[in-house]
Amino acid sequence: MDLLLHADDIHASYDHRRILKGVGLSVQRGEILGLIGTNGAGKTTLMGVLAGSHRHDTGMMTLAGEKYVPDSIEEAQACGVGLIPQNFRIDPQLTIARAIFRGTFQADKPHHEVRDQAGKLIRDIGISLDPDMKVGTLIRAEQALVEVLRMVAEEAQLVIMDEVAASLPDHDVAVLHQVLRMLVRQGRAIIYITHRLDEVRSIAHRIAVLREGRVDKILEASHTDVDELAFLLLQQELEDGTRPTDPATGEEALRVVNLSMEDKVREVTFNVSKGEIFGLVGTHRSGVYELVEALAGVHPSTSGHIFLHGQPVQIRGVQDASRLKIGYLSDAAESGEETGSIVDGLQPVPEAGEANLRDEISQLRGVTEVIRRMRISTTNIHGNISTLSGGDKQKIQLAKWIGSDCDVLILSHPSRGIDIGAKETVYKMLSELSQTGVAIILLSSDLSELIGWCHRVGVMRDGELVTIEANANTNEDVLVHHMLGVKFESGGGDARRVRN
């Protein structure tokens, strides 16, 4: 392998705070370098330095043997460095074809030409996408695949991927890994950031552990395991989690009967008890997203019945859901809540009337406790949310909903972008919340999360709820079998693959 990128003693600051404190690493052509670290360790800042969106203070970088100091993302792209950031945005009015080739020399070609090239690229890689579809019609996971295709089209020599697989189901992670391996076979290099430790072991050649702004250790992926990686990240052993194998015994909180939404969701029936964590999973076009959006009032159902605490209710909009104490945290990239202070982001929406001093002090103590418990990396609770890492922003939104006064709480990929230590805390907080009688509906593509957290798991396929599995009677392979309708197998720590 030939050395492509070398970074030595990189220091960088953000908002007057030193984030990188002497980072050193190198990447070879044909190599996938995994990069892991807790939220706030400096991963996103480091990627910004490498991709030209953030200037470093001191240190030296070389790319293909030449001094490398990009002043902008465009200059980095011209040098052959491409980045898919954790919270990327694509113009929703672009077609998939235009989105793939935006920023390349082919961007100004007639649409039929870029459409044909995009179609060939999509077919070659094996992804099911229509190049004429608008990006705005895609869910987040599909937009991530479009961004990966953009890297292929740009012919980037160093591809940086920041949490690209965070909301991808296992079978799409397998497709993504095929694309990555194709890229490195072409002699490109990849820096791959993920919080999924089993995934980084399966795809990376080496794994760099970033702690407190420094590369603490670099390991051969084949010579380590998840437990060692977790210990290097947290400096402590992970607690052994206990699956909630006993059924929830509370009264019924929510019942859905023959719920439909046009042709996307067809006659879905299920119930959730008070104190239950009920999981939902399905592929992109299974109808699972439309189902939770119907319950949250984002896109109302077209037929069927919803009962809350045994009483029929109508949910025609988000205001109805809010009035009925149904909360919803979507997995949309940025919800527009980056402005404002961290304190404001963690405090519940105030009720009518003025809060007294005692209430304000109590709320500030609560905010401080949440920051400590969820390990949000900040030195100023009155600082702006925009100064936080992507994972810490996700924690802010999640903590705010957990602290809200909901009877039913719907969470879509709540641990997206959150490090492994914080995931344990999130599960504890959700368990504590469920013990107060709140019914929780958890939509996730992380099957190990569903198995580890949920009392029951419902599987959507082709618009129908095909099964509801009790935790004690299921495993990840069973869930994938129902999701795809085909046999699926897992092999050790490797990413799953469809059995031919």
Q: pLDDT tens digits, the chain, 500 residues: what are they?
A: 699 999 999 999 987 789 999 999 999 999 999 999 988 899 989 999 999 999 999 999 999 999 999 999 999 999 999 999 877 889 999 999 999 999 888 888 888 899 999 999 888 877 788 999 999 988 777 888 899 899 888 889 999 998 888 777 777 788 788 888 988 998 999 999 998 898 999 999 999 999 999 999 999 999 999 999 999 998 877 776 677 878 888 899 999 999 999 889 999 999 999 999 999 999 878 999 999 999 999 999 999 999 999 999 999 999 999 999 999 988 764 444 466 777 777 765 544 445 567 766 776 777 787 777 777 777 677 777 877 776 777 778 777 777 778 999 999 988 887 888 888 888 888 888 898 899 999 999 888 889 989 999 999 999 999 999 999 889 988 998 999 886 544 443 343 333 33
Listed in order, the ranges of the chain carrying CATH 3.40.50.300 are 3-234, 252-498
* CATH dotted code for 252-498: 3.40.50.300
CA torsion through residues 480, 481, 486, 492, sign: positive
Separation between Cα atoms, residue 342 and residue 334, nearest integer Å: 15
pLDDT at 492 (0 to 100): 39
Residues in CB range of 163: below 8 A, 6 or more apart: 86, 193, 194, 195, 390, 416, 417
Taking only the tens place, the pLDDT of each residue in 200-241 is 999 999 999 999 999 999 999 999 999 999 999 988 777 766
Fold entry, domain 3-234: Rossmann fold (3.40.50)
pTM for this prediction: 0.80
Q: What pLDDT is attached to residue 494?
A: 40
Residue 194 CB-density burial (10 A; 0-12 exposed, 13-18 middle, 19+ buried) = buried
**pLDDT value at residue 366:** 73
